[in-house]
Amino acid sequence: MTDAEPTADLPEDPQTTLGETLWLMSRWDQAPCPALARGIAERLAALAGHPDCGEPLRRRCRILRAHWAARALHAELALAASTGDDAPRGTTAAGPAEAAAGAPSGATLH
């Protein structure tokens, strides 16, 4: 999925998607897990490509999507390290830097 293509299983209404995204973000402190970060990144990608969202919101969602994709990767690597497993499939030992490669110019990941 690219930033411009909302996923088919997300609601058509961007306000519903934004509300879900904010709720998921609020849960991160209580349960920082890879699946939660991936869900946030997916919803942000859908908003970034939604035709009913203005360009400033779409741009911010693209930046935040890269941030949450990096958080998902970091959480996967941390989970794998804590359990002694190999790095999750599709990841490298280099970590979140690769996830940031597609971030818009000037985006910072924390």
Alpha helical stretches, state H, 1-110? 14-27, 34-48, 55-83, 97-100
- pTM value is 0.68
User: What digits encode the pLDDT tens for the residues 49-107?
Assistant: 999 999 999 999 999 999 999 999 999 999 899 888 765 554 444 343 443 344 334 43
User: What digits encode the pLDDT tens for the residues 23-39?
Assistant: 999 999 898 899 999 99
Residue 101 CA to residue 11 CA, distance in Å, equals 28
